Structure 1
Amino acid sequence: MLKEAIEYVVGLKNRKEIVAVDSRTWIDTDLEEVTDYVAKPFQISTLTGLVAYIKSNYDKQQDEFMIQVVSPTKVKLLGKLNAQQDRDRYVVVEAIIPEFSFDSFYDTESLNIKLQSMFVENVDRDIILQAIGNISEESVKNVGDDGTSQSVEIRQGIKKNEVLVPNPVNLAPYRTFVEVEQPESQFVFRMKDGPRGAIFEADGRTWRNQAILNISNYLKKELENEIENNKVHIIA
């Protein structure tokens, strides 16, 4: 008799009833909500891939898409809110960008290579390359510094010429997706014994806003038809 009573009580505890409240469904015994399935994102690395995925309608989604430009290196493709105020997360796009340590001094050979491979070609980049590409160990001792700009003595053939390195300099490192224009911003270039050089960010990171705008404009152009048909909405 006691065994049957215990089994009856346990059965009551294990019984789960479904309760609907305001179009949301709950399991009453533990207040666990029955939620809709949401898509888990897969990751890609290019905006081109994101555009191709949306246009292909590969997974046959019927909902509208929302593109969230999170940062210069991250974009998300999301769905609409469901009854639980959650949303599908279809794709996360994260840019692959080269690693450059701003505020750190490099030897001139390393800095030369990094400037050529990790920065967009422009006038100020070429001035820095000229300075560090021809500077010699002994010429670093002849650096003239007025607190803002520096001048260095470089070798050009058998002659020695003094080159003024202006500060700040306008440079465009690869810091966002390759499909969009790399934002140009101000940096301070400094040199010291070694010889070594360093590049310091000097714009308060406002370049990030321009990079986000560039991403948004690129997506608006590539997805013009989808936007006009209210298939895609972009938030930046």
Structure 2
Amino acid sequence: MIKDALKYLVGMGKAEIHKENDQTFSDKQLHLIKKPTAGPFVVNTLSGLVDYLQSDFDEKYNSDNPFIVHIVSPTEVKVESPLNNDAGRDYFVKAEALIPHFLFDSFHDTEEFNIKLQSCFVKNEDRDIMLKVVGNIQEDNVKNVKDDGISQAVVAKVGVASVGNVEVPNPVSLAPFRSFVEVDQPVSDFVFRMQNGPRCALFESDGGAWKLEAISNIKTYLHLNLTEEIEKGEITIIA
């Protein structure tokens, strides 16, 4: 115990610094006391983020101390400060998009699928065609689906009291709500498939290219709404 106590007392002494091979060493472990950094609050719109930046509510940014607007993803944008002396950043505000939920790559019953098409997707021609097909499928005759691996045909109502084979569109170009409401929603291709039940599914087929378009749309929106601050060098946008 005495030996351990002596080691403890020695360890409490002043650290000694040594130079060796152009490197600096200490005989004791040193702990940096870091400068405090701000944590973010959350808004749910790009307009809210712009309002914050233009309000100068927390501190004055300028060309010597600009804010960094980092477009992290189609649904997240962060505002941070440059690195301080401890390689840390103040993290002022984060915008998180509120988007409706739709489960891709999974089959849904026709009623749920119909509702989701109307509530989670921007209205366009392909969406309206899908609504007509899904809304008029004859449940008793779904087993008569014709499928060549790419296109499908199902038995559906084609008039007030008649039925017939209806081609299922494939692929379809749709614009789901996947980013902030202030920007255009990217249009991308989906594989539309149906199976007995009847059940419907959408499979993403653009390799995620829509994300790059969404980020570009967000950047364009911020440039248009923060033109003065960007030109003064007070804000840097990184996408």
State the match for 1:209 in structure 2. 212
State the match for 2:72 in structure 1. 70
Q: Within 2, Cα distance between the matches of 1:129 and 1:78? A: 44
- Please provide the CA RMSD for this pair: 2.2
Write the letter of the residue equivalent to 2:89: R
Q: Which has the higher strand share?
A: 1
**TM-score for the superposition, normalised by structure 2:** 0.85
State the match for 2:47 in structure 1. 48
The match for 1:186 among 183, 186, 189 is: 189
State the match for 1:152 in structure 2. 154
| CA deviation vs aligned residue, 1:75-130 (integer Å, no higher than 9, x gap) | 11010111122211111211111111111111100000000000001111111110
The alpha-carbon distance between structure 1 residues 16 and 223, as it changes in their structure 2 partners (threshold 3 A), is farther
State the match for 2:23 in structure 1. none
Q: Within 2, Cα distance between the matches of 1:42 and 1:16? A: 41
Residue-pair matches, total: 221
Tell me whether 146-155 or 211-220 shows the greater mean CA deviation. Answer: 146-155
4+ runs deviating over 6 angstroms: none
State the match for 1:57 in structure 2. 56
State the match for 1:23 in structure 2. none
Q: Within 2, Cα distance between the matches of 1:15 and 1:111? A: 71
5+ unaligned residues in a row in structure 1: which ranges? 1-5, 20-27
The match for 1:114 among 113, 116, 137 is: 116
| CA deviation vs aligned residue, 1:139-183 (integer Å, no higher than 9, x gap) | 312222121111222212112233212211101111111111100
Aligned partner of residue 233 in structure 1, secondary structure: strand
How much has 1:58 moved relative to structure 2? 0.8
Q: Within 1, Cα distance between the matches of 2:66 and 2:34? A: 20
5+ unaligned residues in a row in structure 2: which ranges? 18-26
Q: Within 2, Cα distance between the matches of 1:126 and 1:95? A: 26
Q: Within 2, Cα distance between the matches of 1:139 and 1:154? A: 8
Tell me whether 206-215 or 155-164 shows the greater mean CA deviation. Answer: 155-164
The match for 1:200 among 185, 188, 203 is: 203
How do residues 20-169 of structure 1 correspond to structure 2 at under 5 angstroms? 30-62=29-61, 63-155=65-157, 156-169=159-172
Q: Within 2, Cα distance between the matches of 1:16 and 1:116? A: 70
Write the letter of the residue equivalent to 2:175: A
**TM-score for the superposition, normalised by structure 1:** 0.86
Tell me whether 211-220 or 90-99 shows the greater mean CA deviation. Answer: 90-99
Q: Within 2, Cα distance between the matches of 1:173 and 1:140? A: 27
